[in-house]
Structure 1
Amino acid sequence: MKIKTAYIGEIEIDPLEILIFEHGIPGFEDETSFVLLPLEEKSIYQILQSTKTENLAFILTTPYAVISNYNFDLDEATVKALEINSESEVAVFSIVSLKDTLANSTVNLKAPIVLNTTNKKAKQVILDNEEFAIRHKLSLESIKG
């Protein structure tokens, strides 16, 4: 299947790699189908690209590269919605807000993207935890990734 992307032009994707956000992403509720694309080889950054809207793409990173003690419990409704059977099925990403420089860029630790890697169901989860910020500055270590 071919899709047009915001950053790398038209590409061929495997339909089995499509991530399904049943209720979309907050602010983009009609966008339910995305694919993860590498930003560059061996990078901790990836692109979450809409399969239907060319100019809708988010830069993602692993929150664990930004803050080593990042940890939260998923609520039961999310576990059921994503049909998670084991912690080993779960991947967690954070959306990066790019600024004029990478050092000024931030990452949203308050609302991670949770993915069931087995069935490709995903959801952006809003955490009820004051410890995590919506605009957490990227650390020097995470920028190097």
Structure 2
Amino acid sequence: MELDTAQFGVVDVKEKQIFNFPKGIPGFEEYTQFAVIDLPDGPFSYLQSVQESQIALLITDPFIFFPDYEFELSDHAIEELELGTLLMIRCILTLNKEVSKSTINLLAPVVFNLETQRAKQVILHSTEYSSRHFLWSKEEPSLADKAGE
């Protein structure tokens, strides 16, 4: 399938790259289909809306940057996604002009069911993770950085 993207122009994506988000993604609820487009030479991908070329979120495997990252999914999320053993976890990044200040949202990982092609951004409860962990260090953002949340 050919997909029009703002970042790369027209790209060819396979059906296995397209995931259905039944309730959309927070902030983009009306968009329910996204393709995972891997970037060459690195651990980053784009989560590209199939319906709107201008909507693309930069994502990455959080375990590469935070090997101790762990959480439990609620029974509701497991049931909603019909999760089995084939799943993928990615987190959304926010790039900053100063690359060292780029952040990763560990509070709301995106969970992909690789068997059913369903996905959901899950907001974790009872956790100390935030939506703005610095990607390049394990330090917490300053209060000034958190003010924008």
Give distance in 2, aligned partners of 1:72 and 1:140: 20
Identity %: 33
Structure 2 residue aligned with 1:130: 127
5+ long unaligned stretches in structure 1: none
Structure 1 residue aligned with 2:146: none
Structure 2 residue aligned with 1:7: 7
CA positional deviation for 1:80:
1.0
Q: Deviations over 1:115-136 (max 9, x none)?
A: 0111110000000133211100
Residue identity matched to 2:43: I
Structure 2 residue aligned with 1:33: 33
Larger mean CA deviation between 123-132 and 105-114 belongs to: 123-132
CA RMSD in angstroms, aligned pairs only = 1.5
Shift in alpha-carbon separation, 1:79–1:25, aligned structure 2, 3 A: same
Residue identity matched to 2:112: L
Q: Segments of 4+ in structure 1 off by > 6 A?
A: none
Question: 1:59-70 residue pairs with structure 2 within 5 A?
Answer: 59-70=58-69
CA positional deviation for 1:102:
2.0
**Normalization by structure 1: what TM-score?**
0.89
Residue identity matched to 2:51: K
5+ long unaligned stretches in structure 2: 139-149
Residue identity matched to 1:97: T
1:52 aligns with 2:51: yes
Structure 1 residue aligned with 2:141: none
Structure 2 residue aligned with 1:113: 110
**SS state of the match for residue 65, structure 1?**
helix
Give distance in 2, aligned partners of 1:90 and 1:14: 18
Q: Higher relative CO (CA 8 A, sep ≥ 6), structure 1 or 2?
A: 1
Paired residues of 2:61 and 2:91 also in contact (CA < 8 A)? yes
CA positional deviation for 1:95:
0.2
Paired residues of 2:17 and 2:37 also in contact (CA < 8 A)? no
